[in-house]
Chain A
Amino acid sequence: DAMVIQNPRYQVTQFGKPVTLSCSQTLNHNVMYWYQQKSSQAPKLLFHYYDKDFNNEADTPDNFQSRRPNTSFCFLDIRSPGLGDAAMYLCATSSDPRDRDTQYFGPGTRLTVL
């Protein structure tokens, strides 16, 4: 089945220790998104890639970076995690944000910062 896969499902890191979260998709979608979701809140968009074009949200901290080496994979790098970065990180894909922007989500990575 075509899907969005996130690894790992659970990640524990130490305060200030860089961490990388991974997302892959078999949908062959052009767009990949990264969202941060804190408890009992809606997902908050961090940034997205439209093909190779990176689009950052204005309020995304510089601490968060992303890489998309090819169509299938996208990575979220947190350079110096703080306690406030503990959250669920969701990857999503869509075929075209300018059209219907129907987004399909992965299962998420739960990040704990000690």
Chain B
Amino acid sequence: GQQLNQSPQSMFIQEGEDVSMNCTSSSIFNTWLWYKQDPGEGPVLLIALYKAGELTSNGRLTAQFGITRKDSFLNISASIPSDVGIYFCAGRGSEKLVFGKGTKLTVNP
């Protein structure tokens, strides 16, 4: 089946730094979604991407749908303590929505 490789697995950064994480696949996807999950809560949709090359921002967050349709990245600019959490990418191709294993972000004040 379709699989996603999400990296890095974890990140430790200082407040104010920019962050970048990405997901890659050997399969082509038609939709890329980025979620943030806080401890004990459900994933919250941050950004949805539907077209190859699409670049979308949501406040300090920016995500892009790769031209090859096999990858996507998420950037967070000027990180703040509340950015702490686990970020999941998810891709939808010909089968069901597939999730990456998540990037755990820690922000030191």
Q: Identify the A interface with B (CB < 8 A).
A: 4, 6, 40-43, 45, 88, 90, 92, 97, 100-108, 110
Contacts and interface: CB of A to CB of B under 8 A. Distances in A.
B48 A100 contact: yes
Given A100-B48, A100-B92, A105 B97 contact: no
A88 B40 CA distance: 8
Nearest to A55: B96
Interface residues of B, number: 22
Interface of B: 30-31, 33, 35, 40-45, 48, 50, 88, 90, 92, 96-97, 99-102, 104
Contacts of B96: 45, 97, 101
B76 to A, nearest CB: 20
A46 to B, nearest CB: 11
